[in-house]
Amino acid sequence: MAIEEKIEITESEWEIMRVVWTLEKATSKDIIQVLQDKKDWKPATAKTFIGRLVKKGMLNTEPKGNKYIYSAAFSEEDSVKSVTDRLFDQICSKEVGKTIADMIAGATLSHKDIELLQTVLDKKKDEAVDEVACNCMPGQCKCRDNHNMN
């Protein structure tokens, strides 16, 4: 299932989503139990975050007896992808390559991860362009200044 709108969730809401992705189906009690050591939330606080996630369409609810069972409306993979796509939408397209390089430089990677990255990069070589075009509004990045200097 594709994510139609960009995901806009807070760090606290993301913590809850990770629990639901892991458990697949969870009650608010399950969620609070998993996060109790990490977050010093009162049950009412956790329930507020859960309610917001339902409102945002990130969690499905299913009544069961006197409680609700929550499940994720989108997969973890799709949600993470939506967040990284959004990051790249927020920077100059000329800066994307360097940003990815910085992310890789700062990450702890296994030999297998590096092999995967090398495979992806080898494929990207076939579709590489000479120069990435700037996609910014004039005044929102320095590309234009640089052009003036050339």
Contact positions vs Zn ion (CB under 5 A): 92, 134, 136, 141, 143
* Shortest spacing between CB 142 and Zn ion, in angstroms: 7
Residues pairing with 61 in the sheet: 70
The nearer residue to Zn ion, 44 or 149, going by C-beta atoms, is 149
The nearer residue to Zn ion, 80 or 96, going by C-beta atoms, is 96
The nearer residue to Zn ion, 96 or 141, going by C-beta atoms, is 141
Q: Which class for 17: exposed (0-12), middle (13-18), buried (19 or more C-beta within 10 A)?
A: buried
The nearer residue to Zn ion, 117 or 141, going by C-beta atoms, is 141
* Shortest spacing between CB 99 and Zn ion, in angstroms: 13
**Rounded distance, CA 150 to CA 147, Å?**
5
- 14 CB contacts (<8 Å, ≥6 apart)? none
How far, rounded to the nearest angstrom, does the alpha carbon of residue 90 sit from its chain's CA centroid? 14
- How big is the CA angle at 101 (ends 22 and 114), to the nearest 5 degrees? 60
**Rounded distance, CA 2 to CA 42, Å?**
33
* Shortest spacing between CB 72 and Zn ion, in angstroms: 35
* Shortest spacing between CB 90 and Zn ion, in angstroms: 12
